[in-house]
Homo-oligomer: A and B are copies of this chain.
Amino acid sequence: MTDVAPPDRQTLAIRSAERTLLVLEVISRNRRRTSLAGIARDTGLDKSAVQRCAATLVSAGYLRQTADHKLELTPKCLELGYNFLISNALMERAYRVLMRLRREVGERINLSLFAGSYLVYAMRLTGKGEWELPMSLVGRRMPTYCTAGGRAMLSKLSDDEVLRVLETSTLHRRTPMTLTSPALILDAVRTARADGYAVVSGEAVAREIAIAAAVTDSHGKPIAAVHVSSELSRWDKAAFADHFAEPIVSAAGRLSFDAVPVDHARS
């Protein structure tokens, strides 16, 4: 009986470390403080395994246990995001470009980063006269399929790639307006591809309209999106696009990395 299971360990990844990161992620997603046994249920891991993983994360400083033996994240978790932001080349240039865009349009500006089936907020500038939110949204996850930023980024992929992203997404009807059919979403992406920007109204958040343009890397692949959002009551869709498309597309272009020449010429 030595031939029982195909080992198929293709990856170099370390099992116990993977499980430890999984535990961290589950705790991170659970808004409420989590008990040890609860994590065992959520992850499908053994109780002993969770115990060891949690002890590792506590000793590394990412978790602490409260007085009632629950587990919660520590401020150290903030550092990782900060270090990402300051070490990222895109963020460096985004500073000036977004400030200028903010002066031009006077509305709330967002920059979010492409991560496949979802995107992550990375920067936010409040609109003129708008209350500043101390609780910034940096790090918040939004789906790709139903947001202006997501549509704009998808428009820089081929149809095949778009469909592959949609396959890995759960197409949830977030509002009555949300498109949940891959074919219809692909149509919207094609429109965005032709226009150079994407406008989405009321699909991700009810009564909100948003416009976005994609930032691309040196291969033309999407890495981020610049977007402006406002209330649907304040703008007609066409007027909204007329007003914001040009500055946003221009800013996204300035943020994009120049394409590398396709030939292999040397200097």
* A contacts, CB < 8 Å to B: 11-14, 16-22, 24-25, 28-33, 51-53, 55-57, 59-60, 62, 72-88, 91, 94-95, 98-99, 111, 113-115, 120-126, 131-132, 134-141
Contact = CB atoms under 8 A, between A and B. Distances in A.
Contacts of A20: 14, 17, 20-21
Contact of A82 (B17, B24, B139): B139
Contact of A123 (B99, B135, B137): B135
26 contacts: A12-B51, A13-B59, A14-B17, A17-B21, A17-B56, A21-B56, A21-B60, A21-B62, A28-B80, A28-B84, A73-B87, A74-B115, A75-B113, A75-B115, A77-B80, A77-B81, A78-B81, A80-B81, A81-B81, A82-B140, A82-B141, A85-B139, A86-B135, A99-B131, A132-B132, A136-B138
A84 to B, nearest CB: 4
A132 B126 contact: yes
Contacts of A77: 80-81, 83-84
Contacts of A14: 16-17, 20, 52-53, 55-56
Nearest to A126: B132
Given A79-B28, A81-B139, A139-B80, A60 B18 contact: yes
Nearest to A120: B75
Nearest to A111: B134
A20 to B, nearest CB: 4
A18 B59 contact: yes
A20 B22 CA distance: 13
Contact of A76 (B29, B31, B115): B115
A134 B139 contact: no
